[in-house]
Amino acid sequence: MAKKYFGTDGIRGKVGEGLMTVDQVLKLGWAVGKVLAGQDENLVVIGKDTRISGYMFESALEAGLSAAGVNVRLLGPMPTPGIAYLTRTLHASAGIVISASHNPFYDNGLKFFSSEGSKLPDDLEHQIEAMFEAPMTTVDSYDLGKARRVVDAQGRYIEACKATIPLATRFTDMNIVVDCANGATYNIAPQVLTELGANVAAEGVDPDGININAYRGSTHPGHLQKVVKEQEADLGIALDGDGDRLIMVDAEGEVVDGDELLYIIAKARLDAGDDVQGVVGTLMSNMGLELAIKEMGLEFVRANVGDRYVLECLNQKGWKLGGESSGHIICLDRTTTGDGIVSALQVLAYLAKTGQSLHEAKSGMKKMPMHMINVPLSGDSKPLESEQVKSAVQQAEQQLKGRGRVLLRPSGTEPLIRVMVEGEEETMVNTLTQRIADVVAAV
């Protein structure tokens, strides 16, 4: 059954509109509390990124949960994966993240974690939606939930991050620029790297409630590229506003995206003798990643776009590594969800062990040229069912001769068809993409 309020990554919207108003968030907190009330722990943890609206929504959630009789632990500004970790280690019934990830400050949202630190199962989300539409009540005053701040939340998570690499690993003499996007990792990421011996230059660590993700972080790596070159650093690390995505920059100033980072981590696991059966990417993962993974003797499968689907596929396969080109990388042998800091540490540990530069480590994967055109839909046209479109796709695939691929998919948020082609020769890729897009637009 389709969900009415929950998307693939919780609830998100512009502050003051839709569900992202104080009264709606208060009732959402109450609905979550009513669904979870009666569980042994009777406890929910709440964390947030650095958006100015986070304080407002934190108070609303706290009030709603308390009214439902559920106790609350407030973590303050924390990366999303840190909140997932503390949900488990504090033995909470659930965790709530107040964040809109890489979106601008005027958006906000709610993400939910189960007691295991993973995404809430669908049945719980359906129960919360049903409760949200019921009249709100308040438990007896004697039974109201109590709220406390967890004063050592950041320290606990810092130690958890460091524990994901071998104890003896040191990043001594590594000159690293880290861009925290003025988001939730602003205090944690530099401290983790410094404690592991790196020489750290920190960017995007002055949040003011409004500058989160503003021309900084994993969605805007240009600033990091510039600083890495200026400071002649060994590499750069770019995180997004809530700390679950990672993009890196090598000493040449070249961006190293999620596909290349996933390749490096898979290679590191194999070199360490770990049992790696396969890797999960998405429909948008570069074919160069697929070929490189298969050349290692591993399986590679593609999930739908979205970390939720990557995680579902990993669980179905019983595998540990997956991710997206955007830098959302999941290492289930280290944590329960995508974690930018943990993913960065896996790459850095491999560099420290092998003595390779980041540029050298990524060189085993050759990215194929990829081109995408968004074609607006008009009226009731259904181009994916068109024989002309199917014929154009078939002709393109014949020209690629098995060394490329064609993907047409509808946008989940706009009336668009995304036409994507990738292959070994850039001019051919661009030509084929435009040819198919023209046919799609004409039907």
pLDDT in tens, 190-205: 999 999 999 999 999 9
Q: How far apart are CA 414 and CA 10, in angstroms?
A: 19
Residues 180 and 93 in one domain: no
Residue 172 included in any domain? yes
Residues 172 and 274 in one domain: yes
User: Would you state the structure tokens that stand for residue 70, as one six-digit string?
Assistant: 């559920």
Residue 5 included in any domain? no
Query: Can you give the pLDDT at residue 438?
Result: 93
Q: How far apart are CA 173 and CA 176, in angstroms?
A: 9
Q: CA separation (Å) from 129 to 49, 107, 309?
A: 24, 21, 21
Known active-site residue 101 = yes
Q: Where is the domain boundary, 328, 362, 396?
A: 362
Task: Judge if pTM exceeds 0.85.
Answer: yes
Residue 398's domain spans which residues?
Answer: 370-442
- pLDDT for residue 38 is more than 70: no
Neighbours of 252 (CB within 10 A): 12
Q: What is the pLDDT of residues 104-163, one digit of tens each?
A: 999 999 999 999 998 888 888 999 999 999 999 999 999 999 999 999 999 999 999 999
Q: Which of 101, 218, 325, 326 is catalytic?
A: 101
Specify the DSSP class assigned to residue 283.
T
Q: How far apart are CA 340 and CA 81, in angstroms?
A: 8
Residues 260 and 312 in one domain: yes
Specify the DSSP class assigned to residue 177.
E
User: Would you state the structure tokens that stand for residue 309, as one six-digit string?
Assistant: 């689907």
Number of domains comprising the chain:
3
In degrees rounded to 5, what are phi and psi of residue 386? Answer: -75, 135
Residues 215 and 87 in one domain: no
